[in-house]
Amino acid sequence: MKKMIMTICASALLLLGAQGVQAQTTHEVVSGDTLYLLGQKYGVSVTDIKQANNKQVDTIYIGEQLNIPPSISAAEKDLLARLVHAEAKGEPYAGKVAVATVVLNRVQHDDFPNSIYNVIHEVAPSGHYAFSPVQNGQINQEADEETKRAVNEALAFNGQGSGSLFFYNPEIATNHWIATRTETTRIGNHVFAK
């Protein structure tokens, strides 16, 4: 409940701020549209699109008018894309989606901060940032188009999947605690875990 109230308050503040979330959009379904493709296009989870349209199933019809709920703010999307770019440069596209998904999963998890900004800038008890690109400045590099698409896909996929909360490269990891977590998948050089 606390997380829900904090999320509502944070959302209200964002709406009042200069970089608030976008307004709800209406989309007319055309041939080839799917909820997942619309989620990728607008950077909104399929679950949120279904809820905004009182849908219990994934079926949509040509000509149907769908309400597309607001996505995260442009600033949050840019920050997430820059983190993914720095963390997953040289990794396969699926690995970039998975890194973005880890951040989104943390936002929803009670053990982590409840905003993208706060998850990305979280400082561990050791005094180090949770994500090394924040500490070493690589997060300041602009994300490429593929990474931006991967972030939109992670947003569309949000709320689904294996619940990964961590990722690491076993070849270079110095924190061995992470290897004790339950592995969910391996993509490229990264191990994902919860």
Q: Which helix (H) or strand (E) holds 48?
A: helix 46-52
- pTM for the model stands at 0.77
Superfamily of domain covering 26-71? LysM domain (3.10.350.10)
What is the average pLDDT score of the chain? 85
pLDDT at residue 74 is higher than 80: yes
- Per-residue pLDDT for 5 more than 60? no
Classified by CATH at the fold level, domain 74-193 comes out as Arc Repressor Mutant, subunit A (1.10.10)
Say if strands 166-168 and 25-28 run parallel, antiparallel, or are unpaired: unpaired
- In the chain, domain spans: 26-71, 74-193
pLDDT band at 164 (very low <50, low <70, confident <90, very high): very high
pLDDT at 8 over 80: no
d(CA 101, CA 118): 15
- Please state, in angstroms and rounded to a whole number, the distance separating the CA atoms of residues 101 and 108: 11
Q: Which residue is it, tokens 């720095």? A: 86
Looking at the DSSP bridge assignments, the partners of residue 81 are none
Structure tokens given for 39: 């989620």
* Confidence (pLDDT) at 23: 65
86-123 pLDDT, tens digit per residue, is 999 999 999 999 999 999 999 999 999 999 999 999 99
Q: Are 87 and 43 in contact (CB under 8 A)?
A: no
pLDDT in tens, 171-190: 887 777 777 889 999 999 99
